[in-house]
Structure 1
Amino acid sequence: MITLSIKEKTYEIRMLREQLVEFLKIYLAIKPLQFFYRTKSENIKNELEKSQKGTIGYDLNKLLDNNKLKVIPKFENHDLKHIILGYGMTSVEEIKMQAYLFGNGNKNIFCIIFFASGLIFPEEWNSFYKEYKKGKKSVYIHDLSFKETIMKQTEKLKTTYNTV
């Protein structure tokens, strides 16, 4: 009989919670959007591949490729925020970004659902609250558009919006 230490059990439970958040993200948001916007996805990817180094388009293409992800139509603005704000693509990083965005004034249903999924990570509540407060103090980013920024310099936008 194999027994696990408390540390190993804690790790396994955390992994299950992360898988739950990933499942919700994939099946409540990503898959439906990919299904309904298949053609648009190819057009966006072509546009990204033509982008010059140092631009949002280039960096978004690199982010997606590095994480083995496809463009998700209607989520370009969301991915743009990952780049500008510097949040990773893990479940906890996603929740941190949603906490920031909620604090920054984003009250759409996706933001609320994913921010609320942070409840299953009590060990991260302080970090989520810290990101929420950071968002409250920061320049409003919700209306920033991928289409308007695709050719803009990434570092300039990071400086403008990630000031706290």
Structure 2
Amino acid sequence: MNLIQQFTRFVIRKSFHLSVGIIESCIDTTSSRQQQKHLKQLPPGTLGNDIAVCLEQHQLRLVPGFESHDLKHVLLGFKMTPEDEIRLQAFMIGNGNYTFASFAILLFGVLLLPDCWLIFIKDWRNGRKAVPISIWTIDAYAHYSTASLQQSLYPEINTTIEKIAFMNVFVRWGAFAAIAAGVFGMLFCLPFLFSSSMKDLVGAGFPFLGGAVIAGAGLIALSNLSTAKVKKGLAL
């Protein structure tokens, strides 16, 4: 990271910290402190508990009127940092949240962080793919599992994964059926290959080879499935 990039990030951090300080000084946060304590008491893994833990880790607190903002940070996996705040706004604009604050923050980031333009575009595209979440509130979703909510964000992707899983099962059983049919055909034709009759040799030879090809195709299909699983595991 060069000096210009370090300076722009310093300006962004100071600007956001100043903004948060002004907002907190102008709003009574007594009720939000109580709400944050209540969220901390929820079972681990719930969205409410994850929000409270995240706020504590960053030494932040809920601000009345901005609770849903913290929800989006945790739900979408964006850190509570100035840079990720800009990424969050790029996502939310793609998600249909056309507010002055979102556009202003994103424009601020675009002007000061040209090296992050591709990241902002990617976040914007992800927002377009996700279900609308601009109206989600902590009161409505605090008791839900964070992981299950995250999985529900991209229904098209989840549907594709289910289709792929179904096709894998279909191919696997088809491969087993091909191997069984091929081996059965080979065993059935095997006795005729020892016949002294040319008709038996020819009549049994071709089906024997056909069974070998079918069984081999099944084995290759199983091998491809196993290789795909290994590559997926390494990628994770």
TM-score by length of 2: 0.60
Distance 1:13 1:43 in 2: 42
Gap runs ≥5 in structure 1: 1-6
Distance 2:23 2:35 in 1: 14
1:49 aligns with 2:17: no
Shift of 1:125: 0.5
The higher radius of gyration belongs to 2
CA shift digits 1:111-139 (9 cap, x unpaired): 12211122211111011111111111211
Per the alignment, residue 4 of structure 1 pairs with none
Distance 2:146 2:10 in 1: 31
Per the alignment, residue 158 of structure 1 pairs with 150
**Aligned-pair Cα RMSD in Å:** 1.8
Shift of 1:68: 1.8
- Count of residue pairs brought into register by the alignment: 154
Distance 1:57 1:92 in 2: 23
Per the alignment, residue 147 of structure 1 pairs with 139
The answer to which structure has the higher helix fraction is 2
Distance 1:39 1:82 in 2: 22
Equivalent residue for 1:74, pick from 56, 65, 74: 65
Shift of 1:162: 5.0
Moved more, 83-92 or 94-103: 83-92
Per the alignment, residue 96 of structure 1 pairs with 87
2:69 corresponds to which letter in structure 1?
Answer: H
Equivalent residue for 2:121, pick from 123, 126, 129: 129
Distance 1:144 1:73 in 2: 15
